[in-house]
Structure 1
Amino acid sequence: MATSVKDVAKAAGVSVGTVSNVLNRPEKVAAATVERVHEVIAELGFVRNDAARQLRAGRSRSLGLVVLDTANPFFAEVARGAEERAAHHGVSVLVGNSDQLPGREAAYLDLFREQRVNGVLLTPVSDATAFGDLGIPLVLLDAEDEGADVPSVAVDDVEGGALAVGHLLERGRRRIAFAGGPASIRQVADRLEGARRAIAAVPDATLEVIETPSLTVLAGRNVGEQLAHRAPADRPDGVFCANDLLAVGVLQGAGILGDLRVPDDIALVGYDDIDFAQATVVPLTSVRQPAREIGAAAVDALFAALADPDAAPQRIRFRPELVVRASTGG
């Protein structure tokens, strides 16, 4: 027969309510009592029935996190920051990968509703206004949408795009290309908008937009190979990529598979400043986002909304930072 909470309480010499507090609200119990109860739990092999507890409480001890691409080191760092902060709140993080597909995103949201998670941190594939009736608390992560009445934690990607292209222009580059996509992803659109604003301030500068099907190394490699096959007068002298994975791919396609030199022929800027950016063959100039801080702030915003559902939604925006390395002559 399975060990029950009553068995633990009897063996520890405390009430059932004290055992419940040790499991769910340990800060309300004396440290010596918490230690004694945990010793008894270990001795008796007690395992809590979380499914039954969730039905009674209406919520689980977890929250959901859905990102565009778990293979992207940026989102891995965001998830780590969310997990570290969630642990302080006594909950775990369930991670889902939408792979930039609306259907997969919807499936994860349905799953998390069924699991009765405390809330969801979401990097949406497209328009976030459709999630107003989700039925569980929602925080937009690495995204913001003024039309959605939900908290958000993001970086000013318009400013980040302007920083990247402004740097290329300062280096004397005038034929700039932006590589990124799909255009429906809000971060891609905002970074492109920032690039356009920087270009507009320099009369003799031009901007070519190269839309990619995804934000992966392979998509960037295809762009790099295409640029390498162009005549010198027809190709850009500076490339801004919507993320670092694309930029790494462009570096491979243009400078390894092709015969272009970075930064001599093409100066290259990425976005996110993942750890790998500084370890490429030519260290990559990038726009840094504080990934762990974004994840942690999103968890805090979620619990703030849980604590006061009637409060105005928090909208937290971090500032991007340009990190200059050899790919632009740094």
Structure 2
Amino acid sequence: MATIKDVAALAGVSAGTVSNVLNRPSYVNAETRERVLAAIRELDFVPRQGSRQFRPGRVRTLGLSIANLDNPFFVDVALGSEERCTELGAGVIFCNSSYDPVRESHNLDLLVQSRVQGIIIAPVDEKSSRLAMLKDRGVPMVFVDRVGDDRECWSVVVDDFRGGQLAMQHLLDRGHRRIAFLGHPEKSQKVRTRLAGARDALTGRTDVELELMAADSWTIEAGAAAADRLAERAPANRPAAVACANDMLALGLQHGLMRQGIRVPQDIAIVGYDDLAWSEVADVPLTTVRQPRKALGRTAVDMIMDLLSRPPATVPARNHVVLQPELVVRESA
């Protein structure tokens, strides 16, 4: 039977490099990794599963891997997790992936090497092979926010379909009939779900026009760019209201419109999504759909503590918790 040293010799690398390919593939460059994998296939090498199983440390410490801490939404999720860990006497290690899947892989490797007892993750890519590998090794994980409801995992999310319904219904109740949705549904499942909810609220409403306005990201800058595009149109060709995929788009849109002399909400009403701290103190306080951001983080901690308390054989493959959004009415719509 081939050993790890046989694989190393055939691939022309050290045994440590072979171990990294098996356990921390993001640490090995693509060319070397492929050479090692080819040697594994040629020798029909099978690692001893016992040596690859996850062995957590004794200290009650959790890992938290966040898609991007530049986004205030994720900051609040992280704060909620940290608050709950403090209440439970547990530590937490934060990692910021900056929407970079390679950086996320490095962060996950770091957390495993740090022997955290479990990982809470708002993933850059929920279908990453690295996440599947960690699951196979028995690493306890709870997904937050960025995960499909059909995935076999433990997760906590907000009902984005309902959130989209709330935003659109509010604009309908305000009498708006020319409405735009600002976002990037082609890039984000969450935006697609919010848009689907908004469209559902329009079922049977033949008197309403819905325009999809493209945004290349979730940012304030993308919202401001959308405002510039609207300002170039004749007033009669502009929507009377815009439902935005998140608050940063909404705040950028509001600032950009007002800079161009377009009044909010008299000329164009705006609804956001998130209810960030900035939204209440905007020049025109933002009407928005509130996500229970800290509750997401707190619930994720409770879920992973529950998962860790159970014998592995009794843990269900799927535990999907859905929190509800709430409409917050202010002055922008």
**TM, length-normalised to structure 2:** 0.76
Correspondences of 1:200-211 after superposition (within 5 Å): 200-211=203-214
Do the aligned residues in 1 keep the contact of 2:60 with 2:117 (CA within 8 Å)? yes
The Cα shift of 1:129 comes to 7.3
Tell me, what secondary structure is at the counterpart of 1:192?
helix
- Relative to 1, partners in 2 of residues 1:274 and 1:253: Cα closer, same or farther, differing over 3 Å? same
Write the distance in 2 (CA, Å) between the matches of 1:98 and 1:235. 38
Do the aligned residues in 2 keep the contact of 1:143 with 1:152 (CA within 8 Å)? no
Do the aligned residues in 1 keep the contact of 2:271 with 2:286 (CA within 8 Å)? yes
Do the aligned residues in 2 keep the contact of 1:154 with 1:317 (CA within 8 Å)? yes
| Aligned match of 2:297 | 295
- Relative to 1, partners in 2 of residues 1:58 and 1:94: Cα closer, same or farther, differing over 3 Å? closer
| Aligned match of 1:99 | 98
How many aligned residue pairs are there? Answer: 273
Do the aligned residues in 2 keep the contact of 1:132 with 1:150 (CA within 8 Å)? no
Correspondences of 1:205-284 after superposition (within 5 Å): 205-256=208-259, 258-284=260-286
The Cα shift of 1:56 comes to 8.6
Decide which moves more: 136-145 or 94-103: 94-103
| Aligned match of 1:70 | 69
Decide which moves more: 232-241 or 62-71: 62-71
Pair 1:122-2:121 in alignment: yes
Do the aligned residues in 1 keep the contact of 2:121 with 2:141 (CA within 8 Å)? yes
Write the distance in 2 (CA, Å) between the matches of 1:232 and 1:127. 42
- Relative to 1, partners in 2 of residues 1:247 and 1:196: Cα closer, same or farther, differing over 3 Å? same
| Aligned match of 1:12 | none
- Relative to 1, partners in 2 of residues 1:277 and 1:107: Cα closer, same or farther, differing over 3 Å? same
| Aligned match of 2:36 | none
The Cα shift of 1:206 comes to 2.2
Write the distance in 2 (CA, Å) between the matches of 1:188 and 1:105. 22
| Aligned match of 1:19 | none
Do the aligned residues in 2 keep the contact of 1:183 with 1:211 (CA within 8 Å)? no
Decide which moves more: 199-208 or 260-269: 199-208
- Relative to 1, partners in 2 of residues 1:283 and 1:57: Cα closer, same or farther, differing over 3 Å? closer
Percent identity of paired positions between Structure 1 and Structure 2: 44
Amino acid at match of 1:71: D
Pair 1:311-2:310 in alignment: no
**TM, length-normalised to structure 1:** 0.76
- Which consecutive unaligned segments of at least 5 residues does structure 1 have? 1-54
| Aligned match of 1:133 | 133
Write the distance in 1 (CA, Å) between the matches of 2:280 and 2:149. 35
Tell me, what secondary structure is at the counterpart of 1:327?
coil
The Cα shift of 1:120 comes to 1.8
The Cα shift of 1:59 comes to 5.8
Do the aligned residues in 2 keep the contact of 1:125 with 1:184 (CA within 8 Å)? no
Do the aligned residues in 1 keep the contact of 2:55 with 2:115 (CA within 8 Å)? no
Tell me, what secondary structure is at the counterpart of 2:202?
helix
| Aligned match of 1:36 | none
1:185 to 188, 206, 210: 188
The Cα shift of 1:223 comes to 1.0
The Cα shift of 1:111 comes to 2.3
Do the aligned residues in 1 keep the contact of 2:120 with 2:143 (CA within 8 Å)? yes
Do the aligned residues in 1 keep the contact of 2:177 with 2:208 (CA within 8 Å)? yes
Amino acid at match of 2:284: V
Decide which moves more: 120-129 or 145-154: 120-129
The Cα shift of 1:200 comes to 2.8
- Which consecutive unaligned segments of at least 5 residues does structure 2 have? 1-53
